[in-house]
C-alpha cells in the first residue's frame, strides 16, 4: 500500500525542517549557553550541545529572571541523557544531535522512497515491486505482487487530455 502523497510530503519536509532546527540548536548549544525562563517557573536551555527542559517547584519559583539569557560556552559537548527529579526541580536534558539525526534519516528515507516511486511510475512499473506493467490494463492488479494499481500510464489519452 502506497502512503498518501500528503503524508509523504509532510514526512519529507517536516523531517528536513526538524533536522535543521535541532542541528542549529546543537550547534548553538556547543558554543553558548542559551536560557529562556518563564514567569511561571518553567525553563528551557541549550548548553553543551544539549536541549534541556524543566520546571522549578520550590516556593520561591524560578531563581532566574524571566526572559532570554546567553553566555559564551567553551567546554566540550555532553552526550549523556540527564534528568533530575527533586522537590525543587524537575528537568530533562538530551543531546540535540540525536533528534537531528533521527529526523534527518527519516526525511532522507522518505525522499528516497518518493524518488523510487516516481521513477517506477514514470517507467510504468508497479509502485510496490517495480514490475514492468507494459501491456497490462491500468486497473489490473500486478501479476508479481498482486497490488491493485489505479495509476494510468503517462502517455495515455486520458492523462494528456487533463494536462
At 52-91, the pLDDT tens digits run 999 887 656 566 778 888 888 777 888 889 898 888 888 9
Residue 151 has pLDDT above 80, yes or no: no
What total of structural domains would you count in the chain?
Answer: 2
Model confidence band, residue 152 (pLDDT cutoffs 50, 70, 90): very low
Residues 86 and 15 in one domain: yes
**One domain for residues 95 and 157:** no
In a domain, 121, yes or no: no
> What pTM, to 2 d.p., does this model score?
0.61
In a domain, 1, yes or no: no
Mean pLDDT to the nearest integer, 19-46: 86
| Residue whose C-alpha cell is 526541580 | 89
Residue 37 maps to a domain: yes
Which residues, including other chains, have CB under 8 Å from residue 92's CB and lie 6 or more apart? 52, 53, 54, 81, 82, 83, 84
Q: Is residue 116 part of a domain?
A: no
Which whole-number Å values give the CA distances from 56 to 46, 47, 91, 144, in the listed order? Answer: 17, 18, 9, 60
Euclidean distance between CA atoms 136 and 129, whole angstroms: 15
* 105 in any annotated domain: no
Strands 42-47 and 32-37: antiparallel
80 and 30 inside one domain: yes
The boundaries of the domain holding residue 69 are 6-99
Residues 87 and 137 in one domain: no
Asked if pLDDT for residue 19 goes beyond 70, the answer is: yes
| 140 and 70 belong to one structural domain | no
How confident is the prediction for the chain on average, in pLDDT? 80
- pLDDT at 59 (0 to 100): 59
Give domain status of residue 32, yes or no: yes
Alpha-carbon span 18 to 87, nearest angstrom? 33
Tell me how crowded residue 37 is: count the other CB atoms within 10 A of its CB. 20
Bridge partners for 33 per DSSP: 71
The answer to whether the beta carbons of residues 143 and 131 sit under 8 Å apart is yes
User: How far is residue 10's CA from residue 144's CA, in Å, rounded to a whole number?
Assistant: 30
Amino acid at each position: 500500500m502506497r502512503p498518501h502523497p500528503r503524508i509523504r510530503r509532510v514526512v519529507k519536509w517536516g523531517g528536513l525542517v526538524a533536522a535543521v532546527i535541532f542541528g542549529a540548536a546543537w550547534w548553538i548549544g556547543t558554543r553558548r549557553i542559551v536560557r529562556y525562563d518563564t514567569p511561571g517557573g518553567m525553563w528551557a536551555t541549550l548548553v553543551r550541545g544539549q536541549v534541556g527542559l524543566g520546571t522549578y517547584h520550590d516556593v520561591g519559583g524560578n531563581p532566574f529572571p524571566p526572559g532570554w539569557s546567553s553566555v559564551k560556552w567553551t567546554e566540550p559537548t555532553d552526550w549523556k541523557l540527564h534528568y533530575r527529579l527533586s522537590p525543587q526541580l524537575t528537568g530533562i536534558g538530551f543531546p540535540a544531535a540525536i533528534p537531528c539525526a533521527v529526523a534527518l534519516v527519516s526525511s532522507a528515507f522518505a525522499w528516497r522512497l518518493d524518488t523510487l516511486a516516481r521513477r517506477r511510475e514514470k517507467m510504468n512499473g508497479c509502485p510496490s515491486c517495480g514490475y514492468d506493467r507494459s501491456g497490462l490494463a491500468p486497473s489490473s492488479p500486478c501479476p508479481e505482487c498482486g497490488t491493485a494499481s489505479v495509476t494510468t500510464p503517462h502517455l495515455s489519452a486520458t492523462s494528456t487530455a487533463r494536462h
